[in-house]
Amino acid sequence: MKDEALLKEPFPVVFRRWMTSAGGITILLTIVVAIIAAIDAGPFIIVNTVVTGGMWALLSLGLSLVFGVMNIPNFAHGEFFLIGSLTAYFTFNPLRLYLKENPSPFLSAIAPLLGIFLAFFVGALLGVILEKLIFSPLRKRSRDQWVMNSFLLTVGISVVIINSVQLTWGANFKGIPNYWNVDPLDFLGVNLSVDRLAAFLLAVVTLIVFWYFMRRTQTGRAVRAVAQDETGALMVGINLNYILSLTMALSAGLAAMAGASLLFIFPAYPTAGLKPLYVAWYVVILVGLGNVSAAVVGGFIVALLQTLTSFYVGTGWEDVIPTAVIIIMLIFKPSGLFGSEVKGIQER
């Protein structure tokens, strides 16, 4: 009676409900396709999918969260990714040079994590600043056509950040050869670099922590409450401003963390955020606007789609094929593969 085990629904019930939904079928199909492709082309398909998929999940989850809780379609989400990779670059690069002079195995092992965690906090801070400086004033002025107005604001923010970065640090690529300078592991016959493995593990750990936070803590529940009924949230004593700032911070922090973790693949430069932005939006529309948990799954699905497109069709087409896929999806199931948790996708 008095424990939280009550919260759990029996697993078989959940599982059956899932497997017969559009979402369940999608997941099954994704796994099947991944296996067939892996047999056909090699296991690297799965490795690549899983590594970028984890980071796309972090990215999409944050975008979805901000839309669900704050009703902001964020077109500056990619810039959080950019800020994250910049932070990691400026933290890790001096450390790397220092370690070249003064080798220290311990420091070498944790230096990358330092950059990645710092990126999370810098991203979160930027998120809070934007909420306090920009969204909150707009909210106080008027909530008419909030979705469109906030969308335009984020477009403005994105332009400002991209070009400020360009003004400050120029347009050159700021990348690193790798985080951990050790030999790649052999995994299913695929060379798996420690950087990739670490990125994947980091994503998994973060997702678990995030899930625990949202489901099992009062603050996490409050975030979901605000998404579902703002007035109800106020009525039970939730401080709306606090939750909104927290949501923005989390969303931005996760995106920044993804940017930092992938610095060894995606170097930092002013428009580095565009691609992640596209991916995150793609995932969110594909799985259903505002559906946070589905966004996680969607991250992996889209990563697979990208891996397959670039392997079978060729690079350069990765914007074309996914668009065709999403058009088909919108024709048949506009609420997204996993349905939408937002108050409805039809215009009110």
Partner 1 sequence: MLEVKNLNAGYGFLQVLWDVSLKIEKGEFIALVGPNGAGKSTTLKSIAGLVTPKSGDILFKGEAIGGTPANLTCRMGISFVSESLNLFTNMSIYENLLLGAYTIEDKQEQLDTIDFVFNLFPRLKSRRNQLAGTLSGGERKMLAIARGIMSKPSLLMVDEPSLGLAPKLTLNVFDALETLRQGGMTILLVEQNVNTTLHITDRGYVLEQGQIVLEGPSKELLENDHVKKAFLGI
Partner 2 sequence: MENNAQAALSDGATGNGRFTALLNATGISPTGLTMIIILLVLPFIPPFNQEHILRWLVSAALLGAQAIAFDFTTGYINVVNFGFAAFLGVGAYTSGLLAVNLGLSPWVGIFVGAIPAALIGFLTGLLTLRLRGIFAAVMAWFVGLALLGLTRNLVDLTRGPMGLSTPTLLNTSSNRPYFYIILAMMLITYIVLRKIIGSRYGLAFRAIGQNMDAARASGINPTYYRVFNFTVQCLFAGWLGGFYAHYFGILTPQLMLTARTVEVLAIAYIGGRGSLWGGAAVAFPFIFLIEALRSNLTELPGLHLVIYGLLLVLVMIFYPGGFAAFYKRAVAWVKGLRDR
- Chain positions contacting partner 1, by CB under 8 A: 1-2, 6-9, 218, 221-222, 224-225, 228-229, 231-240, 341
User: What is the smallest separation between the CB atom of 314 and partner 2, expressed in angstroms?
Assistant: 8
- CA atoms of 338 and 291, how far apart (whole Å): 8
Within residues 300-329, the interface with partner 2 by CB under 8 A covers: 316-320, 322-324, 326-327
Q: How far apart are CA 287 and CA 142, in angstroms?
A: 30
Which does residue 112 bind out of partner 2, partner 1, none, counting CB within 5 to 8 angstroms by kind? none
CA-closest candidate to residue 45, choices 321, 265, 311: 311
Shortest distance, position 7 Cβ to partner 2, whole Å: 32
Does residue 142 touch partner 2 according to CB under 8 A? Answer: yes
Residue 240 contact among partner 1, partner 2, none, beta carbon within 5 to 8 Å by kind: partner 1
State the Cα–Cα distance between residues 116 and 122, nearest whole angstrom: 10
**Can residue 345 be called a binding residue for partner 2 (CB under 8 A)?**
yes
Which strand (E) or helix (H) includes residue 163?
helix 146-169
Residue among 69, 67, 21 at smallest CA distance from 283: 67
Q: Is 141 in the site for partner 2 (CB under 8 A)?
A: yes
Query: Quick check: 111 and 96 in contact, CB under 8 A?
Result: yes
Question: Distance between CA 208 and CA 163 in Å, rounded?
Answer: 35
CB neighbours of residue 170 within 10 Å: 11
94 binds partner 2 (CB under 8 A): no
Whole-angstrom distance, CA of residue 97 vs CA of residue 88: 14
Which of the ranges 117-125, 163-171, 196-204, 224-232 carries the binding residues for partner 2, by CB under 8 A? 163-171
Which one of the spans 48-56, 92-100, 109-117, 145-153 is the region binding partner 2 (CB under 8 A)? 145-153
- Give CA–CA dist 315/226, Å, rounded: 41
Among 29, 167, 182, 208, binds partner 2 (CB under 8 A): 167
Q: Which of 134, 194, 197, 240 binds partner 2 (CB under 8 A)?
A: 134
Six token digits for residue 275: 């691609």
Nearer to partner 2, 137 or 232 (CB): 137
201, 193 contact by CB (below 8 A): no
For partner 1, the closer of residues 13 and 97 by Cβ is: 13
Residue 185, SS3? strand
Q: Can you read off the two tokens belonging to residue 69?
A: 């809780």
Contact range with partner 2 by CB under 8 A, out of 5-13, 27-35, 140-148, 172-180? 140-148
Contact 68, 341 (CB under 8 A): yes
One residue of 33, 152, 190, 194 binding partner 2 per CB under 8 A:
152
Given the rule CB under 8 A, which residues bind partner 2?
A: 73, 134, 137-138, 141-142, 145, 147-149, 151-153, 155-160, 162-164, 166-167, 171, 270, 274, 278, 281-282, 285, 289, 316-320, 322-324, 326-327, 330-331, 334, 344-348
